[in-house]
Amino acid sequence: MAKLDYHKKQIWYTRPFNQTDEIKEAFVGKGAKVSHIPLIELVVSNDPKVNTDMANLNEKSWVLIASPTAAQFFFQKLKKIKSKPVFKIACVGLKTASLVEKLGHKVSFVPKEENMYTMCRELPFNKGEEIYYFGVSLKGNEENFKTLVKRGADLKSSKLYHNKSLHLVKENTVKLNKNRPDYIVLTSYSCVDALVNVQKQLKWSVFNCPIICIGPLTSRYAQNRGFEQIYTAESPSPQGFINAQ
């Protein structure tokens, strides 16, 4: 299938403002006109299990960090609980690993491919070791985590932060109704759900508009929610979105 042409195309980029803009810049570099209008915002969770799990981390524990955002929230929270944390860290990709190391922590493992599927199949843990996941949601990773359990991991997960759906402010509603985007970029299940929620604010159908999803699981979820024209990024990287098919 031919790669998409972004030159002079209108793209609605829906990621939260406090996440990386490298994907957005990649589209701009291809000549696209990008409107950064978030559909969700990230909010730190008050789940007491997060504190309990962080307090139990030890030198035999693994912590899975799935994104730079998760790394930032994790270490901010950890400072309030452990003064000298000692545990093994696995990062989903080099960008996340680089941030963790800049924050002063050693990274013990990065998978060959930048995704949770590969992470959960390659993680070099010993049977019975505790593996902790502090993230936004288990949704989309259920099968990956089942793989860890089948491999003998003692998996523990807690919700470090969550996605809050946003309504479109009047200015953005007018903008989107005046210029229907050629593509909408969706980077999570929550973005898909939030896009469905704002349909009533728009004069055109979001379900008929072409969308670019971060990966096959998000694409499948979007299809189940009724979207018709779905393209999938080759990888979660900026170039992966550019090469969406």
- Residue 3 domain-assigned? no
Can you give the pLDDT at residue 5? Answer: 93
Clarify whether residues 78 and 108 are in a common domain: yes
Which whole number is the average pLDDT over 44-50? 88
Find the range with the poorest average confidence among 79-93, 94-108, 208-222.
79-93
Which of the listed residues 146, 162, 178 is the one where a domain comes to its end? 162
Clarify whether residues 77 and 104 are in a common domain: yes
Which whole number is the average pLDDT over 176-187? 96
Clarify whether residues 122 and 223 are in a common domain: no
Clarify whether residues 145 and 190 are in a common domain: no
Domain holding 112, by residue range, is 43-162
User: What percent of the chain lies above the pLDDT cut of 70?
Assistant: 96
Clarify whether residues 146 and 176 are in a common domain: no
CATH of the domain at 197: 3.40.50.10090
Clarify whether residues 174 and 72 are in a common domain: no
Clarify whether residues 50 and 134 are in a common domain: yes
- Residue 196 domain-assigned? yes
Clarify whether residues 233 and 140 are in a common domain: no
Can you give the pLDDT at residue 83? Answer: 67
- Residue 4 domain-assigned? no
As for how many domains the chain has, the answer is 2
Clarify whether residues 111 and 191 are in a common domain: no
Which of the listed residues 127, 162, 197 is the one where a domain comes to its end? 162
Which of the listed residues 134, 162, 190 is the one where a domain comes to its end? 162
SS3 category, 134: strand
Rounded CA gap, 82 and 214, in Å? 34
- Residue 1 domain-assigned? no
Which whole number is the average pLDDT over 183-200? 95
Clarify whether residues 55 and 140 are in a common domain: yes
Can you give the pLDDT at residue 171? Answer: 96
Query: What global pTM score does this model have?
Result: 0.76
At residue 228 the predicted structure's pLDDT band, cuts being 50, 70 and 90, is: very high
As to burial, measured by CB atoms within 10 angstroms (0-12 exposed, 13-18 middle, 19+ buried), residue 75 is middle
Phi-psi region of 20 (alpha: psi -120 to 50; beta: other; left: phi over 0): beta
Which whole number is the average pLDDT over 161-183? 94
- Residue 86 domain-assigned? yes
- Residue 56 domain-assigned? yes
List, as one string, the DSSP characters of 221-233: HHHHTT--SEEE-
- Residue 103 domain-assigned? yes
Clarify whether residues 152 and 214 are in a common domain: no
